Amino acid sequence: MSARPAQRPAGGARPPVTLPGLAALKREGRPVVMVTAYDFPGARAAEEAGVDVVLVGDSAAMTVLGLDSTTGVELEEMLVLARAVRRGLTTPLLVADLPFGSYEASDELAVTSAVRFVKEAGVDAVKLEGGGPVPLSRARAVMAAGIPVMGHVGLTPQSASALGGFRAQGRDLASATRVLGEAEALAAAGCFSVVLEAVPSQLTELLVPRLPGTVVIGIGAGPAVDGQVLVLHDLLGMREGVGARFVQRYADLQQAMVAGVRAYAEDVRERRYPAPQHGYGMPAEVLAALREQLG
Ligand SMILES: Nc1nc(=O)c2c([nH]1)NC[C@@H]1CN(c3ccc(C(=O)N[C@@H](CCC(=O)O)C(=O)O)cc3)CN21
Ligand SMILES: CC(C)C(=O)C(=O)O
């Protein structure tokens, strides 16, 4: 059950983004643009806007499922979202998060979960959190199965409880050393890319030159990265509140959605909707026959 459409893009279309293509962007010093998406319209927006990488993030737990952390989203739910996103994309590289609980217990479980994303949702790569011994082993196992892995260090939301909440990492020597070591280990293990989340910009400046062959994608990591990622609902303002300090809003869709639904509600209550053009008609003779039948 593949979710990926078989057809190639039409002539003249942008070629699909590949791992070598991303590596080339880094070498050429051209910033990689990454955004999350969780459904078909989000994917279409990312496709048409020309982004390079789309992430079906486990932030879906919060943005689309309304949970207060990322740990509650199920693998099956992530697969539903990833399939919908896949159907909307032809060009960007598609990455899916291995959700909490789908890879920690064993290398075998990590491979099984990653393979499901490839077979059932047609993703190009998976992302998993952490760079300690356990996530490193899982990343190696998934890569050994032929599935590219994107690492994720710094603020790793699946372990927010252990980190003391959604807090920036790498601000003291021990934490900075850990972030550096984990990123280097993931790069050495062969991750094509690493997400660096909520760390001091100065740490990023020290870290990125040490990862010459790995595409470092920042979120709240400052400008000295190879690319940036933001959560779609944050950048579009499709949420209540602004969010983390690294969020920049480019639209206010939540307000636009409320305004649209409110206008609809008023039209229904004032009997302005539906108007004649929204209705269906029937032939006069059918209507006459129906009236007669009813007496
Ligand atoms: N919608 C959304 N956007 C995200 O970027 C995101 C999620 N959800 N869910 C998973 C994680 C959680 N993230 C977060 C959430 C909150 C802060 C935050 O508010 N941080 C504060 C405190 C920083 C500190 O104490 O060090 C901030 O001011 O940025 C940061 C990252 C990033 N990820
Ligand atoms: C914020 C990005 C990097 C993420 O991991 C997610 O959306 O889940």
Distances in Å between the Cα of 287 and the Cα atoms of 57, 278, 279 are 54, 19, 15
pLDDT digits 0-9 by tens, 20-43: 999 999 999 999 999 999 999 999
**CB atoms < 10 A from the CB of 158, how many?**
23
pLDDT digits 0-9 by tens, 94-119: 999 999 999 999 999 999 999 999 99
b/e code 174-213 from CB counts within 10 Å (16+ = b): ebbebbbebbbbbbebebbbbbbbbbbeebbeebbeebee
pLDDT digits 0-9 by tens, 230-241: 999 999 999 988
Q: Using a 6 Å cutoff on CB, does residue 243 contact ligand 1? A: yes
- Rounded to 5 degrees, φ, ψ at 225 are -115, 180
pLDDT at residue 11 greater than cutoff 70: no
pLDDT at residue 197 greater than cutoff 80: yes
pLDDT at 69: 96
Residue listed under structure tokens 């070591």: 181
Beta strand 53-56 with 93-97 is: parallel
pLDDT digits 0-9 by tens, 160-171: 999 999 999 999
- Which atom number of ligand 1 is nearest to the Cα of residue 230? 5
pLDDT at residue 5 greater than cutoff 60: no
Q: In percent, how much of the chain has pLDDT > 70?
A: 96
Q: What is the mean pLDDT of residues 145-155?
A: 98
Residue 68 marked as a ligand binder:
no
pLDDT at residue 9 greater than cutoff 80: no
Q: Using a 6 Å cutoff on CB, does residue 126 contact ligand 2? A: no
- How far, rounded to the nearest angstrom, does the alpha carbon of residue 53 sit from its chain's CA centroid? 9
Q: Using a 6 Å cutoff on CB, does residue 231 contact ligand 2? A: yes
Q: Using a 6 Å cutoff on CB, does residue 70 contact ligand 1? A: yes
pLDDT at 13: 79
Name the residue of 229, 232, 239, 248 to mutate for ligand 2: max ligand atoms within 8 A of Cβ: 229
Q: What is the DSSP letter of 64?
A: T
pLDDT digits 0-9 by tens, 45-88: 999 999 999 999 999 999 999 999 999 999 999 999 999 999 99
- Which atom number of ligand 1 is nearest to the Cα of residue 171? 26
Residue 58 marked as a ligand binder:
yes
Instruction: Specify which residues 37 forms β-bridges with.
Output: none
Residues of the chain with CATH 3.20.20.60: 19-251
pLDDT at residue 6 greater than cutoff 70: no
- Cα 290 to middle of ligand 2, angstroms: 59
pLDDT at residue 206 greater than cutoff 60: yes
- Rounded to 5 degrees, φ, ψ at 203 are -65, -40
pLDDT at 247: 98
C-beta of residue 54 within 8 angstroms of C-beta of residue 93: yes
Q: What is the second-level CATH architecture of the domain 19-251?
A: Alpha-Beta Barrel (3.20)
- Which atom number of ligand 1 is nearest to the Cα of residue 168? 26
Question: 108, 184, 197, 266: which one is catalytic?
Answer: 197
pLDDT at 242: 85
Q: What pTM was computed for the model?
A: 0.95
pLDDT at 220: 98
- Cα 106 to middle of ligand 2, angstroms: 23
Is-catalytic flag, 270?
Answer: no
ipTM of the complex: 0.95
Q: What is the DSSP letter of 101?
A: T
E strand segments, 40-163: 53-56, 93-97, 125-127, 149-154
In this structure, the chain runs to a length of 295
